Amino acid sequence: MKTIKDMTLREMEDFMEEIGEKKFRAKQIYGWIYKGAEGYDDMRNIPKALREKLSSITEYENLKTVKVQKSLKDGTRKYLFELPDGERIETVFMKYRYGNSICVSSQAGCAMGCRFCASGINGLNRHLRPWEIAGQILEAEKETGEKINHVVVMGTGEPFHNYDNVAKFINLIHERAGLDISMRNITVSTCGLVERIADFADDFPQCTLAISLHAPTDDIRGSMMPVNDRYSVGDVISAAKAYADKTRRRVTYEYALVRGVNDSPDCADILAMRLKGSLCHVNLIPLNEVRESGLSSSKNAAAFRERLERNGISATVRRELGSDIDAACGQLRLNNG
């Protein structure tokens, strides 16, 4: 059976014609889906006969909200959702001065095994379908009653390990008849799957690319991120530079500062040297401590930032949201079923 929520508007239009219906029905249905309709019966301007027909030949599923946690510090919310097959995923909603932002998961679990991150501790369970990624936005909009205008694919999972579904997800939420989220307001973060970075430059030149770099040398990066055995620091930075050259978009490098591992003045100097001359920005994140990792947070964020800036590299220290509900970077895990 076809899953209607995985169809782009174009695909839905073709599908309507295929089943002998008027093409304009697709736009109506698409609109309902992204208004958060629970099923065909919510779609009041769709004739009953068509609703019944669609129910019998397509699948219409929703995410189930298992739990919502609200930060008392900053209004951040963390959602625990259940997928139709029982898998569980987490999503974070954040309020900023410029609007509402959501951090979505792209996989249930993660195969990358970064030492500092809680999301990969149990490995990868499975890729998310496009609608399962988009559904996180729908449910959060419904629960908060607010419109979400910024999306970061930085929750659990490596988005470029699930490239095709993430690409389709971006197209689904960009569609005007649905959520109408601007490409410029979508950021995808990767641990550095080089071939997919090149694909992303071709497919989504208007989105923002974030690279989880976390270290300026292969020795240090390799000690924290197994993926570095396949894609070295040099390879990842070259791919990101090519992306910036091609798209004229600034690349964000994420760098979690770990005490005694990657937070020395030397590290800042080497990093600056390697990034020099490219269109980029460094986002420093004081490590959010994850019990199992044995790594601790650095106190050097301000000094590290200053040193990068003095070397001509723009850098900021990321404000931490949602730490009181374990919703900060690297803390998403399923310890709260």
Using CB under 6 A, list all residues that contact ligand SAH. 114, 116-117, 154, 158, 189-191, 212, 254, 256, 285, 287-288, 290, 329-330
150 phi/psi in degrees, rounded to 5 = -125, 135
- From 13, 21, 90, 132, active-site residue: 90
> Closer CB to ligand SAH, residue 29 or residue 186?
186
Beta carbon nearer to ligand SAH, 189 or 262: 189
Known catalytic residue: 90? yes
Residue 265 CB, nearest approach to ligand SAH (Å): 21
Which of 148, 110, 112, 113 lies closest to 126 in space, CA to CA? 110
Cβ neighbour number for residue 37 with a 10 Å cutoff = 18
* Measured distance CA(159)–CA(155) in Å, rounded: 9
Nearer to ligand SAH, 25 or 249 (CB): 249
Question: Among this protein's residues, is 329 annotated catalytic?
Answer: yes
As measured in angstroms, the least distance from the Cβ of 18 to ligand SAH is 37
From CA 8, how far away is CA 13, in angstroms rounded?
9
To the nearest whole angstrom, how small is the minimum distance from the Cβ of residue 292 to ligand SAH? Answer: 11
The nearer residue to ligand SAH, 31 or 113, going by C-beta atoms, is 113
Token output for 186: 């979508």
* Non-local CB neighbours of 130 within 8 Å, separated by 6+ positions: 5, 6, 165, 166, 168, 169, 172
Three-state SS at 57: helix
In sequence order, what DSSP letters do the residues of 177-212 get, joined into one string?
TTT---GGGEEEEES--HHHHHHHHHH-TTSEEEEE
Q: How far is the CB of 94 from ligand SAH (least distance, A)?
A: 13
User: Count of CB atoms within 10 A of residue 255's CB?
Assistant: 27
Q: Using CA atoms, how far apart are residues 249 and 24, in angstroms rounded to an integer?
A: 36
Q: Smallest distance, Å, CB 243 to ligand SAH?
A: 14
Tell me whether residue 5 or residue 214 sits nearer to ligand SAH (CB atom): 214
Catalytic residue among 114, 191, 280, 329: 329
The residues assigned a catalytic role are 90, 329
